Structure 1
């Protein structure tokens, strides 16, 4: 991929950080070079996806958040986002009620929520790429890593 092509990609995709996680945690797979002053840069997108999934797991396990509305309310607070639109977008893509308890520690749901967040954060991918930016195998590998199974 040429530099010009790379520059045209959304920030989250360029940084291998499709959830646009901010600096602050010492994530596995962080690049030695961090050119973006606001958001992390990962060596590979699987590590950016893993970090997203680990964040969602902490929302559930440490903060007791159980619904899409609760999780996205924390992920994308109203002072920075149109949180309600974000909630509706993720819930619709996951096929769940935004106020229903979901188990995102279950790999299929974790991947579904993560794919929905990636699409909301970065838009739909251009022709020639999967619609939600990454092949299913990459999301699956990230889920295994996030859950400590791979």
Structure 2
């Protein structure tokens, strides 16, 4: 099983001081772990949103980080590249639901 799926971290987010909702203790020396894959997708959405916000790019520009269909396609593509398998669409949708509940 790919590392990102074992850790329920489909974006292979590396360990750092940043804490995400749903993050759990990781046995992996390099990567974070999450309580569910949906929480891992939520962290991807937060990370993408934060990167856009910090870049000074208007979130309503070409990539609107609050647009579910666009963001879930991006997260799915990232997970596919990182893990080499097709992601579970229901888990992505649940991750989006967890992320968008904050808005």
| Common topology (TM > 0.5) | yes
Match among 37, 44, 48 for residue 56 of structure 1: 48
1:28 aligns with 2:25: no
Instruction: Give the secondary structure class of the aligned counterpart of 1:62.
Output: helix
> Cα–Cα, structure 1 residues 65 and 21, in superposed 2: closer, same or farther, change >3 Å?
farther
How far residue 133 of structure 1 moved from its aligned partner, in angstroms, is 2.4
Compute the RMSD of aligned alpha carbons: 2.0
Q: Which has the higher contact order (CA 8 A, sep 6+)?
A: 2
Runs of 4+ in 1 over 4 A off after TM superposition: none
Classify 1:65/1:19 alpha carbon distance in 2 versus 1 (closer, same or farther; 3 Å): farther
- Native 8 Å contact 1:12 1:20 kept in 2: yes
From 17, 34, 38, the equivalent of 1:46 is 38
Partner of 2:80: 119
1:59–1:65 Cα contact (<8 Å) kept: no
Post-superposition shift, 1:53? 0.6
Whether the 8 Å CA contact 1:104–1:113 is kept in 2: the answer is no
Task: Answer with 1 or 2: which has the greater Rg.
Answer: 1
* TM-score under structure 1 length normalisation: 0.60
- Aligned mate of 2:94, from 134, 141, 149: 141
**How many residues matched?**
100
Q: 2:29 aligns with which of 37, 45, 68?
A: 37
Separation in structure 1 between the aligned mates of residue 91 and residue 54 of structure 2, nearest angstrom: 26
Using structure 2 for the length normalisation, give the TM-score.
0.85
In structure 2, the residue matched to 1:14 is 6
